[in-house]
Amino acid sequence: MIPARRRAALVVGGASGIGLATVWALQLEGCDVVVADVNVDAATAVADEFGDGVTAMGLDVTVEQSVADVMTASAPLDVVVNCAGLSIPGAIAELELSAWRTTIDVCLTGTFLVLKHAAAAIVDGGSIICVSSLNARQPGTGMASYCAAKAGVTMLVEVAALELAPRGVRVNAVQPGFVDTPLTEGVGFIPGLRQDYLDNTPLGRAGTPEDVAATITFLASDQTAWMTGAALDIGGGSHLQRYPDVLDRVRALMAPG
């Protein structure tokens, strides 16, 4: 009797933060996991730590051939998770076009490329999960490029869900609030800003990468076999309140005297 194939997952941006926690969670669920990251050394270190069943590949979401090559080499895939992202804050009137384009290229165009090539690599009935953000629905000063990109991610997920539904492929998003990751470390250097986030989170704490990874794993499972095109808020209720005034806090930090 031929043994059943183990489920195969690819985590883009899997070398740190939410992506790394997702690698852990999917591996515990019995998946073979490819850790794909622009930082190939970090991805390799993660794979070495896990050993059998976890491999590393370099992937730059802003380069289509890079995305295509990794998807082709990893196929067939049952689960694809895109965690790649960054943010370059700045007021609209002051933001350099290059900074805008960098955020859009990584967060929005990168998601498009992952979805485009995941469509060919994923098996019928598979699951694709994209990490969007609270900022897909909640604006914040100084966050123009990130808010625009993440709103686009959530809508891309809905379109992909429609297009891939005939194959039984589910496409969903998670929209985290403030999570302690390498991406948010800089918040701690701006007096009062982290507390602003916590004050506007009804459950009263920052999220952990594991909080988000648990929901991603849920979306990757058969428990959500009838869920597609959804965007799940994971932020301790922060979408119910206001977003901190990031620019005000930064300007206070930079004010003379």
Report which residue type is found at 165. A
Give CA–CA dist 60/47, Å, rounded. 18
**Smallest Cα–Cα separation from 67: which of 18, 16, 12, 125?**
12
**Smallest Cα–Cα separation from 197: which of 209, 179, 211?**
179
Residue of 11, 18, 24, 146 marked catalytic: 146
Q: Determine contact, residues 215/254, Cβ cutoff 8 Å.
A: no
Give CA–CA dist 61/106, Å, rounded. 6
Long-range contacts of 45-48 (CB under 8 A, 24+ apart): 45/15, 46/14, 46/15, 46/20
Q: Is 243 noted as a catalytic residue in this protein? A: no
In a 3-state reduction of DSSP, which class is residue 204? coil
Give CA–CA dist 234/213, Å, rounded. 10
Catalytic residue positions?
146
